[in-house]
Amino acid sequence: MKDPKWLLGIVMVTTLVSSFVLIFTGLYKIGVVVGGIFLFLAAALSIWYSNKNEDYVHQNSYVKNSDRRRHR
Protein backbone atom coordinates (compact mmCIF):
# COMPACT_ATOMS: atom_id res chain seq x y z
CA MET A 1 0.00 0.00 0.00
CA LYS A 2 2.58 2.54 -1.13
CA ASP A 3 0.21 4.94 -2.87
CA PRO A 4 -3.23 5.30 -1.21
CA LYS A 5 -4.58 7.71 -3.85
CA TRP A 6 -7.11 5.17 -5.07
CA LEU A 7 -8.45 4.70 -1.52
CA LEU A 8 -8.88 8.44 -1.06
CA GLY A 9 -10.62 8.65 -4.43
CA ILE A 10 -13.04 5.91 -3.42
CA VAL A 11 -13.78 7.69 -0.13
CA MET A 12 -14.45 10.96 -1.95
CA VAL A 13 -16.75 9.40 -4.54
CA THR A 14 -18.56 7.47 -1.82
CA THR A 15 -19.15 10.58 0.30
CA LEU A 16 -20.38 12.55 -2.71
CA VAL A 17 -22.80 9.85 -3.85
CA SER A 18 -24.02 9.10 -0.33
CA SER A 19 -24.61 12.81 0.27
CA PHE A 20 -26.91 13.02 -2.75
CA VAL A 21 -28.67 9.78 -1.83
CA LEU A 22 -29.26 10.93 1.75
CA ILE A 23 -30.62 14.29 0.62
CA PHE A 24 -32.94 12.70 -1.96
CA THR A 25 -34.26 10.19 0.59
CA GLY A 26 -35.15 12.96 3.03
CA LEU A 27 -32.29 12.80 5.52
CA TYR A 28 -31.23 16.38 4.87
CA LYS A 29 -29.09 17.05 7.94
CA ILE A 30 -27.07 13.88 7.58
CA GLY A 31 -26.71 14.49 3.83
CA VAL A 32 -25.41 18.00 4.43
CA VAL A 33 -22.91 16.72 7.01
CA VAL A 34 -21.63 14.04 4.62
CA GLY A 35 -21.46 16.64 1.85
CA GLY A 36 -19.46 18.88 4.18
CA ILE A 37 -17.01 16.04 4.78
CA PHE A 38 -16.65 15.69 1.00
CA LEU A 39 -16.03 19.42 0.60
CA PHE A 40 -13.45 19.39 3.39
CA LEU A 41 -11.59 16.46 1.81
CA ALA A 42 -11.69 18.06 -1.64
CA ALA A 43 -10.39 21.40 -0.33
CA ALA A 44 -7.62 19.76 1.73
CA LEU A 45 -6.50 17.65 -1.23
CA SER A 46 -6.48 20.58 -3.62
CA ILE A 47 -4.38 22.68 -1.23
CA TRP A 48 -1.98 19.78 -0.63
CA TYR A 49 -1.51 19.07 -4.34
CA SER A 50 -1.10 22.78 -5.07
CA ASN A 51 1.68 23.06 -2.48
CA LYS A 52 3.29 19.88 -3.80
CA ASN A 53 3.23 21.29 -7.33
CA GLU A 54 4.72 24.62 -6.20
CA ASP A 55 7.58 22.78 -4.49
CA TYR A 56 8.23 20.71 -7.62
CA VAL A 57 8.28 23.77 -9.88
CA HIS A 58 10.48 25.71 -7.46
CA GLN A 59 13.00 22.87 -7.14
CA ASN A 60 13.22 22.32 -10.89
CA SER A 61 13.59 26.02 -11.70
CA TYR A 62 16.25 26.33 -9.00
CA VAL A 63 18.23 23.41 -10.47
CA LYS A 64 17.99 24.83 -14.00
CA ASN A 65 19.00 28.32 -12.89
CA SER A 66 21.89 27.07 -10.76
CA ASP A 67 23.19 25.02 -13.71
CA ARG A 68 22.91 28.05 -15.95
CA ARG A 69 24.89 30.21 -13.50
CA ARG A 70 27.53 27.53 -13.07
CA HIS A 71 28.25 27.28 -16.81
CA ARG A 72 28.79 31.02 -17.36
Q: Are 62 and 47 contacting, i.e. CB atoms less than 8 angstroms apart? A: no
13: three-class secondary structure by DSSP: helix
Secondary structure tally for the chain: helices H, strands E: 2, 0
Average pLDDT estimate for 15-28: 93
Comparing 37 with 1, the larger pLDDT belongs to 37
Predicted structure pTM score: 0.68
**26-67 pLDDT, tens digit each:** 999 999 999 999 999 889 888 888 888 877 777 777 666 666
